Amino acid sequence: LQNFLQNALKFTPEGHTVKFISRKQGDDLLIEIIDEGCGIDETVDLFAPFKRLGNKSGVGLGLFLAKSAADAIGAEIGLKNRTDGTDGTVATLRLRAKLCCPLPIKQ
């Protein structure tokens, strides 16, 4: 989340908005960060190591590390352009609810 939020703030011009939305979707938690930045080139895999957008600072590892961490815990992340006619991107994080058996209570 921190990386998505930092990128949204980095690529959104001053005076424009960045929205942070969280909601329950089925049994999952869905978090979206929606910005009014320049958008992305969806043909480039920005989750690959050392991929960067434009000439902004950074080494291009943030999204790669975020994806690796999400994969490790069974979460899903995504990044796409907005589809509502406004420039910008939508970053998503879906945390899956895990079913487990309750531990027995020892008396």
How far is residue 23's CA from residue 96's CA, in Å, rounded to a whole number? 12
The alpha carbons of the chain give a radius of gyration, in whole angstroms, of: 16
* 3-state secondary structure (DSSP) of residue 75: coil
Domains and CATH numbers, the chain: 2-95 (3.30.565.10)
Copy the structure tokens of residue 37: 């930045």
Q: What is the mean pLDDT of residues 2-10?
A: 92
Pairing status of strand 28-35 against strand 89-95: antiparallel
Element (H, E) at 7: helix 2-11
| Whole-structure pTM value | 0.81
| 20-76 pLDDT tens trace | 999 999 889 999 999 999 999 988 899 999 988 777 778 889 999 999 999 998 999
